Amino acid sequence: MSKKDNGAGVILAYLNEKNRPYSAQDVFSNLQKQHGLGKTAVVKAMELLALEGKIKEKIYGKQKIYFADQAQFKDVNDADLKAMDHQISELSEEVQSLTQSCRQLDAELKELNSSLTTEEMVSEIQELKAECSGYRARLEKIKSASNHITPEEKDKVYKERDLYVKEWKKRKRLASDMTNAILEGYPKSKKEFLEEVGVETDEDCKVVLPNT
């Protein structure tokens, strides 16, 4: 495109190629990116082309529509039109079929990309086999252990635990009652009293009394 024709040659070739009506805004939007045409230059070029009779101009209200001069094209008979329609129909079906095939191939490609490669599968299988071997060895060790706890021993442990927890609760309640009795005549706070006598509570040691 030369600076001299302000893109008129490009616009004329475009309208003749497409052979359909366009506004100046349409032509600007379609050609601006590829040819770097400015909107003002497109409007002036199309008005000049219409003035020179190289394209046709129609005015609808406030909008101008431009299209190629139909006199330059050969007349097309009904048989040719039917042949073109048939060709368009066949091409449309082919495009639809190719589009469907592309979608299927894209889906297959995504599935393949998300799958493990052969090398990754071999590596993962080896890792799983090693993990299984470790579990088997651990299971055999547990089965062969001679220090299993009998039900009687287990019951004895739980009974002793309940006994100690009850004693813990009893002593904690007694200590709390004694502390509260002292605090009735103590001029300072409970916290200050405990610090002064050096008593640490379960809460200070972050110990929670278990349930029996």
Q: How is domain 3-72 classified at the CATH fold level? A: Arc Repressor Mutant, subunit A (1.10.10)
DSSP class per residue in 12-56: HHHHHHH-S-B-HHHHHHHHHHHH---HHHHHHHHHHHHHTTSEE
Burial of 58 (0-12, 13-18, 19+ CB in 10 A): exposed
Distances (CA, A) of 126 to 113, 133, 134: 22, 11, 12
Position 90 pLDDT exceeds 60: yes
Tens digits of residue pLDDT in 115-163: 778 888 888 889 989 998 998 888 888 777 766 777 888 888 888 888 8
Q: Which two tokens stand for residue 90?
A: 């066949």
Cα 161 off chain centre by: 53
- DSSP string covering 54-118, please? SEEEEEETTEEEEEE-GGGSPP--HHHHHHHHHHHHHHHHHHHHHHHHHHHHHHHHHHHHHSPPH
For the chain, which residues make up each domain, given as ranges?
3-72, 152-197
Amino acid residing at 85: D
Mean pLDDT over each residue of the chain, to the nearest integer: 86
The pLDDT assigned to 12 comes to 94
User: 190-204, pLDDT tens digit by residue?
Assistant: 888 888 888 888 788
pLDDT per residue over 30-47, tens digit each?
Answer: 998 888 888 999 999 999
Q: What mean pLDDT comes out for the span 92-103?
A: 91
Contact 157, 167 (CB under 8 A): no
